[in-house]
Amino acid sequence: MNNDIERVIYSAAAIQKRESELAQQLSDEYRDKKPLIVSVLTGAVLFTVDLFDKMDIYAQLDFIDVSSYGGGTQSSGHVKLLHDLKHDIKGRNVLVVEDIVDTGRTLKFLIDLLKDRDAKSIKVCSMLDKPEGRVVDVKADYVGFNVPNEFLVGYGLDYKGFYRNLPYVGVLKPSVYAE
Ligand code: PRP
């Protein structure tokens, strides 16, 4: 699997270090707010777990599944809700955790959905942000790293469902998806 990677962008150590900083910031922000952490399946799971266990506050965890890529490299432009939350979010402080914001379509869809449910506050923490990819106007409140406009895999990010278990974020060799 490692042979399919052109270069590593963020090492496992760099990711862990940045997560500790974000977890500290989020703990300060949410200390008395008992937030509901909403992790967006599937890509954000690895980041969520590592971030969550670094946050020393009362917080609950829930999952939502939306999808627009269908496993390939291009967003289909159509976002679907595949699996809903277990929690009622009315009056809750909600923190959405994403692995990457690219076109922004997924995040826009999610924020609109959660707003309709009368959350007290909605903020977003994304491990990666790819500002050059944006087609809708949406922004994460907390970002791990800004990344270039390349196809990235690892640490939750996939190509056809694979590479999520790489401990780092890297650029996939174009020859892999040109096949
Ligand atoms: C990926 C990623 C984000 C979204 C970002 O999810 O996890 O949720 O795309 O892209 P966007 O800003 O262009 O909408 P995907 O739909 O591939 O599902 P997955 O997490 O299950 O891989």
Q: Which residues are catalytic?
A: 102
The sign one gets for the Cα dihedral 157, 64, 51, 140 is: positive
- The pLDDT assigned to 75 comes to 63
- The answer to whether residue 129 scores a pLDDT higher than 90 is yes
The reply to whether ligand 1 has any atom less than 6 angstroms from the CB of 105 is yes
The reply to whether ligand 1 has any atom less than 6 angstroms from the CB of 164 is no
Nearest CA to ligand 1 atom 14: 106
- Enter the tokens of residue 153: 């895999």
Output the average pLDDT for the chain.
Answer: 94
The reply to whether ligand 1 has any atom less than 6 angstroms from the CB of 69 is yes
CA distances from 65 to 45, 86, 107, 110, 159 (A): 11, 12, 12, 10, 17
Ligand 1 mean position, distance from CA 122 (Å)? 19
In ligand 1, the atom with minimum distance to the C-alpha of 158 is 22
DSSP string for 40-77: EETTTHHHHHHHHTT--S--EEEEEEEESSTTSSS--S
- The answer to whether residue 103 scores a pLDDT higher than 90 is yes
The sign one gets for the Cα dihedral 163, 169, 173, 177 is: positive
In ligand 1, the atom with minimum distance to the C-alpha of 99 is 7
Model-wide pTM > 0.75? yes
Q: Which residues pair with 71 in a beta bridge?
A: none
Average pLDDT over residues 102-120: 95
CA distance 65 to 59: 20
CA distance 71 to 51: 25
- The pLDDT assigned to 71 comes to 55
In ligand 1, the atom with minimum distance to the C-alpha of 161 is 22
Query: Helix and strand tally (H, E) in the chain?
Result: 4, 9
Return the closest-CA partner of residue 170 out of 152, 158, 155. Answer: 152
For a ligand 1 pocket test, name from 47, 80, 103, 106 the mutation site with the most ligand atoms within 8 angstroms of its C-beta. 106
Ligand 1 mean position, distance from CA 103 (Å)? 9
CA distances from 26 to 9, 11, 22, 58, 59 (A): 24, 22, 6, 12, 11
Ligand 1 mean position, distance from CA 44 (Å)? 9
Average pLDDT over residues 25-29: 98
